Structure 1
């Protein structure tokens, strides 16, 4: 088995897929995950995963990416929208089987495009004719693999019944996980415990210029007015904006690095996690709510969005809060999240 991962979440989900037996290589064959060396914080994420103790037979390294898929019987990929993966898939012969693991909410868009036979192009990226063509080729090849029973989607996202049925009808094997491997790890390899009662998981929407930084900063300051806050920057963060957050009263800023799913696994029942709509709201719900830790995804007010945020992208991101509640096996999917501030405060982050 070979695997290419390009983000901390992809790395973690790749290990989960291997640990669950979905990408088991042939006997006496080493399974190898390669994390891109040119992605910021990914080397730190690899170190954090290694500290937990890798599953037997799995090696995780940081290095340059291969431009071909090679002759491996199983190839694992975290981002079918990646130009690296799409080019490799278009150039050579596909491996015996491809396993797709989560790359955030983009996994939902990937699944929809696969079912509807649309080109694999990102919602957030302007697409030229060459990239559009490459995305169309990727979709065709993945659908061909699905019809041959050679495509698996391993996800922690609670896919709706219609999307799951569409993938299954296409021939895709859909398997779900709840971070069973990570939950089984001892606290020996966990980062130091966080003391602040509120942890804010930073959003990449600011660095991507999709929401206004000043409104986001005002929201963070409002949360800190209720009590001490630990802020964990997104791996794609604006250094100047993060430096501003370091000067906000009551806010302690961490450095980006290890996946939040690892660094927050020691939170207690008297703590809570707050974030804007993001995949981390779903992943942390999977991990923390069974332990009694509140995970509170917050809606984005219309006034926060910049002109770069298209209606289609806003709609796509808005599903995160609902997915987080659906992922909470201990609560009703319709039960509303608790407010993020004092009792009686709004749940939406209005500045």
Structure 2
């Protein structure tokens, strides 16, 4: 009876899910996932190395880009083990404490990446709307303070959510919809009242990603208004071209996040495969696409990468 009660109120393990209906093909499906992880880790790692070693890139814009790459790298490494273990070894079990730990890093890096995108939007706003004071506003010391504030904000937002999760009991199925630990996913398995958890989770999302998205939109409204005042259409096109990378990064981050949230909230009767596919898009597409976008669209990054590769080749 004691062990039965323990399994009800404090589960020893949860069971992660690979691709529903394609379990026999997991070994083959691991190949594209390995390719995506390789691209994400090598791409973001290369951007970090390039920005750290190339003195010409020691500017606010590239400091924020290095933060973005660091968050994407952390997000990939947080899920790499569980995802590939499911595909290779069908190792689906994860302890409750390990679940809490992985969820902390996944949501933490997600909230921090949202804050970094906001900081990059602010950088764009200052560069366009107040270029004469750009160097005095975005000093190295202030950028360091912004980085610390982003980490503290993401961490402090998650700690109460994890403590609230500890009070729940799980007497239903312990099978999750994803191959990683996601907060709305575990809420569905609880037999305890989760209204407080859900309300607090929603408040955190609004406070972090919701507020950031509104401020990013406001920044770009002001940026576009300022750009329209530029007389030359060529200059307007050139200035807009320099912001395409950040706009793309914002889109590929927020669209999968909103899609996954909507599926969990309103798609309760949707096939499990839908949850899994959108969850994997949310997990992997931003870390994979961001280094590609910035490598292609940012001339300075591209030149620095070519310089490093050419020097090693020679």
What's the TM-score once normalised by structure 1's chain length?
Answer: 0.25
Larger Rg over CA atoms: 2
Instruction: Return the structure number with greater relative CO, CA threshold 8 A, min gap 6.
Output: 2
What's the TM-score once normalised by structure 2's chain length?
Answer: 0.27
Structure with a larger share of its residues in strand: 1
